Every structure is written in structure tokens, then in C-alpha cells.
Amino acid sequence: MRITSKGQVTIPQDIRETMGFWPHTEVEFVLEDGRVHVRKPSDSDSRGSRLVQRLRGKGRVGMTTDQILALTRSDAP
């Protein structure tokens, strides 16, 4: 495996899948005993948390929670 002129390297697919390195996953490089380790930062949010944060406040139903619950509990079509 070679490092590109831009300092990039491709992580093999099986390793990305095993480690959960999906597109836009934050990673950090750690130097320990002359070796470089790639890992997810311990303080990073999960992919699901980032999605929820991005969608929070976007829904515009125009109904209260009680009105929505009444609809889901009614027998009306």
C-alpha cells in the first residue's frame, strides 16, 4: 500500500467494515512505540447521534403531541 502525494491511503474494505469506518467517520492517528494506530476518537458521537442532531428541529407537523397520539389511537381511517 502506498501513500499518495496528498498523504492519503486507502483503508481496505474488510477492515473499514469490521471497524465501522463508514463515510464521514472521524478517525484519529495515535503514535505508540514507533507504530501508528488508526482509531475512532473516544469522544466522537456515533453515526446515529450525528444523524439525530442534523434532523433535530426539522419536522414541521403543525400538530401537538396529544393530537398525534389521538390519531394513532383512533379507529378512524
Q: Where are the domains of the chain?
A: 13-73
pLDDT (tens place) for every residue of the chain, 77 residues total: 899 999 999 999 999 999 989 888 888 999 999 999 998 887 666 777 778 888 888 888 788 888 888 888 876 55
Q: What is the spatial distance between Cα 45 and Cα 56, in angstroms, rounded to a whole number?
A: 15
Q: What is the pTM of this model?
A: 0.49
Q: Is 44 helix (H, G, I), strand (E, B) or coil?
A: coil
- Among 28, 25, 45, smallest CA distance to 36 is for 28
The Cβ-side half-sphere exposure at 21, using a 13 Å CA radius, reads: 16
pLDDT at 30: 93
